[in-house]
Amino acid sequence: MATPATAQSATQRGKNRRIEVKPIAGMLGAEIDGVDLANLDDETFGEIYAAWLEHLVVFFRDQKLTPEQQITFAKRFGGIHYHPFVKGMEEHPEILEIIKEETDTRAFGEVWHTDQMFNPKPAKATILYAKESPSFGGDTMFTNMYAAYDALSEPMKALVKDIKTWSVGDRKKLSQGDKMGSAEKGRYVGNEKMAAKVQDPGDLVTESAHPLVRTHPETGRKALYLGNHVQTLHGFKSAEAKPLIDYLQAHSVFPEFTCRFRWEVGSMAIWDNRCTQHRALNDYQGQRRRMHRITIAGDAPF
């Protein structure tokens, strides 16, 4: 997908006229101030888009958007990607409502992953908007997969260069123990509201091969492309693939590559799934958290 011209002009200027961008960590993540996402002109959106490409995940505070306004804003990033396994809201199928009730023990997205990696064209971006947030906990962590790639040794870069991963969606997921079972085996056991939204993906393709080293289609930078959907490496024996996947995943979430966002009602995060992973922290037992998530359709990775 092409970079909007307005984003390019913001980058070329090298200076924002409409927004204030404040990095929250050394490797990725920035808060953007001075914007009302419900009323955006093209120039302001261009600056936001350029800041998003630069910082990988951007955050906004105190936003007041109706579901329709969130959908309108999301469509500026591209077409809507619909989750094959989990139903959207009745009135707004574009929005996936993520809920953890006081009595739930499991949180949606509580492992490091990049959205919809099992899809032949995985999600480009995710836009997450906080409707209810716990008084403590429930933060989301993000990691910079460009940095993870850049930090590999030259021999490791040579090894991973042409490897293809094999990712599998929820229903067909091979056993990973209790943490991530398949949908049939209770993928959302411990979170009844999410379990009730599980749907059959029908004929949709939910297994895919992707390059382990991905070139970002807009920045041209290389990133490791990895997450919990990855089951094995093409052509490798599983005894060979597992330690390599485990090593690269542990390497990818080295604390210095990450940032962590504290949610408040009205906060919004927009992350680039092509060069990040994220993880929802499940550390607020007894409290409710409710989010509105929209994912944006992406391209086939190369």
Give me the active site residues, please: 113, 115, 278, 293
Residue in the structure block whose two tokens are 């927009």 = 270
Beta bridge partners of 57: 271
147 binds ligand SIN (CB under 6 A): no
**Between 268 and 280, CB nearer to ligand SIN:** 280
CB of 250 to ligand SIN, least distance (A): 19
- In 3D, which of 269, 275, 273, 234 has the Cα closest to residue 252? 275
CB of 74 to ligand SIN, least distance (A): 14
293 binds ligand SIN (CB under 6 A): yes
127 binds ligand SIN (CB under 6 A): no
What's the angle, vertex CA 253, arms to CA 251 and CA 259, rounded to 5? 145
Residue in the structure block whose two tokens are 């990691």 = 143
Burial class (CB in 10 A: 0-12, 13-18, 19+), 7: buried
**Between 10 and 96, CB nearer to ligand SIN:** 96
Count of residues near ligand SIN by CB under 6 A: 10
What does the block give as tokens for 171? 């229903």
Q: What is the pattern of x (binds ligand SIN, CB under 6 A) and - over residues 265-284?
A: -------------x-x----
Residue in the structure block whose two tokens are 């293809």 = 164
CB of 153 to ligand SIN, least distance (A): 30
140 binds ligand SIN (CB under 6 A): yes
**Between 6 and 140, CB nearer to ligand SIN:** 140
Rounded CA separation 63/9 (Å)? 26
